[in-house]
Amino acid sequence: MEKIIGIDLGTTNSVVAILEGGEPVIIPNSRGDRLTPSIVAFSDKREILVGQVAKNQIVINSERSVSSVKRHMGTDYKIKIGRKKYTPQEISSFILRKLKKDAEEYLQTPITKAVITVPAYFDDNQRQATKDAGKIAGLEVLRIINEPTAAALSYGLRHEENQIVIVLDLGGGTYDVSILELGDGVFEVRSTSGVNHLGGDDFDERIINYLADRFEEQEKIDLRQDRMALQKLKEEAEKAKIELSEATVATINIPFITADANGPKHLNIELSRTEFEGLIQDLINQMIPPIEKALEDASLSSAEINRVILAGGSTRIPAVREAFRSALDNEFYRKVNPDECVALGAAIQAGILGGDVRGVVLVDVTPLSLGIETEGGIFVPLINRNTTIPTASSKTFTTIADGQSVVEVHVLQGENPQADKNISLGKFQLGGIRSARKGDPHINVEFDIDVDGIVHVTAEDVDTGNQQTIRITNAMSYSSEEIERMVAEAELQIAQSEKYNELLVIKHDVEKLVKEVNQALEQGSSEIDKQMSEELTNALNDLQAALNVEDIEEIQFNQTALLAMYEELRKTLKNDSGAEVKVAGS
């Protein structure tokens, strides 16, 4: 049976896990790290860097580096690198490809199937985009599961007793609250809530602005206008924030951050925990209403919660914990690692799908109401939020004019009675309606939400029985042809990147060899006959020509030829002088 991996595709870091011997375990990446930064960079030399290597070069190559792309998933945002524009799906696919490759190396087997987690509060566009990213990475995404649900799975597998748990998940970019009822192997989500764009990145942003403002007051230079300085600020702001989870004061020290006519400038600013808390207080305040909403939707009081589970790196911030504690009046369960529990839960879900975990049933819900726009821009929900998925609802449409052959339906997700205040999933058209008086045709449209939380729409002309599956026309969703094109492009780029890496290694060896041959030619000029000297010079020229055009086969061919000649030369020199000459690359 093929192994299925579980992936936590995070805003800041991504983690991959697998079920081994009935237990979920984290798969370390090629560096041996358990967390892989969700950063992709394109060097100006065609190389694609993912993870820590991309993070390491971000200050000097910020224009060609992409971080926190998850924040743009499900939007039509494009990332321009050089002349090429990438979608968030394509950038995410490079991260997924790296995780897949690391898993393949660790497990010593090809991997083609995965379970990927998303924030519970992700809408249909964002879920679809995540699934597409998986496809572009060459992964069959067997299931999309909600991050807090995954966290609860990793906690609950060892806890048999019936209980109600709340998962508070605050990562780099999103905030999710889920309430689950666990018991007898059933994990039932009672309600979910959250904020789509709220997390560690926003806290970093506040610190960056604080530091930039202070620096501007002192030096009259706005660091935000300088890409490299801003990137340095970003790194140090995040470090300071993490430090402030332990320490009460952090010192941000960035020598040579910029310069003016008077010389180099250094940034040295202290930030206390209290000051930091002041900077993010309004963001922390935003975290309480979703808890209240989730409790209300589950018809529970905070006293009925048996366990509070924290997921996501930002839940380590003391002020965040304090806010959670006062909202719930409950202690946290501390044996769950907030960085890893989501990936571990994804691996358990993979185990359930693969048949390795038995007796566990997961019942999840849709986070947002699904509905349509009706006359006057009014939103009419057809499936309410927190409905168990999969689920379906149908509605009959008719025409408003005689002979009307097309009806347009606008599908949305959200809770606002005003259609335009909700998230548009797109519009679709019911075509080919038979010619009839207005109000006569009956077209039954079924809206269903699958186990991944993804919306499908089918329609049937009740009178003729004609069935049609409708694709919602939406800038963010791709056809299988478009996905195939993106796969081909990504594979080509990766092949070029790998070829470039191979070229670098070969170049390194060749340059060493060329240097040695030149040295030998110089040192032994009196002992080397003219013909050998000419032959060597020609071979060196041929090799240089191949290097110039970066033709790997040609380089290797000429390298072998030069190496053979060099060995000849060594023998000659050794016979003449008795001295040993070391050969590079042999």
Helix, strand, coil percent values for the chain (each to nearest 5) = 40, 25, 30
Q: How many CA atoms lie within 13 A of 586 on its CB side?
A: 15
CB nearest ligand AMP: which residue? 200
Nearer to ligand AMP, 53 or 242 (CB): 242
Q: Which is catalytic among the residues 90, 102, 132, 169?
A: 169
Cβ of residue 169: shortest distance to ligand AMP, in angstroms?
Answer: 8
Which tokens is 71 given? 């924040």
Nearer to ligand AMP, 65 or 559 (CB): 65
The interaxial angle of helices 200-219 and 227-243, nearest 10 deg, is 120
Which tokens is 461 given? 């002309």
Q: Which is catalytic among the residues 102, 123, 132, 147?
A: 147
Cβ of residue 284: shortest distance to ligand AMP, in angstroms?
Answer: 13
Report how far apart, in Å, the C-alpha atoms of 218 and of each of 127, 229, 250 are: 46, 16, 19
Q: Which is catalytic among the residues 3, 70, 100, 241?
A: 70
Q: Which is catalytic among the residues 8, 90, 201, 340?
A: 8
**Residue 8 annotated to the active site:** yes
Cβ of residue 374: shortest distance to ligand AMP, in angstroms?
Answer: 39
**Residue 147 annotated to the active site:** yes
Nearer to ligand AMP, 233 or 445 (CB): 233
Which tokens is 154 given? 């990793």
Nearer to ligand AMP, 129 or 372 (CB): 129
* Exposure letters 192-230 (e unless 16+ CB within 10 A, then b): bbbbbebbbbbbbebbbebbbeebeeebebebeeeebbb
Nearer to ligand AMP, 242 or 451 (CB): 242
Strand partners, 444: 396, 460
Which tokens is 243 given? 């430090």
Nearer to ligand AMP, 96 or 372 (CB): 96
Element (H, E) at 127: helix 124-136
**Given the structure tokens 């800041």, which residue do they identify?**
12
Residues 6+ apart with CB under 8 A from 240: 207, 250, 251, 252, 271, 276
Nearer to ligand AMP, 12 or 493 (CB): 12
Cβ of residue 522: shortest distance to ligand AMP, in angstroms?
Answer: 55
Our separate counts of H helices and E strands in the chain read 13, 27
State the residues that interact with ligand AMP by CB under 6 A: 10-13, 171-172, 200-201, 238, 241-242, 245, 312-314, 316-317, 339
Q: Are 467 and 458 in contact (CB under 8 A)?
A: yes
Give the integer Cα–Cα distance in Å for 340 and 333: 15
Catalytic residues: 8, 70, 147, 169
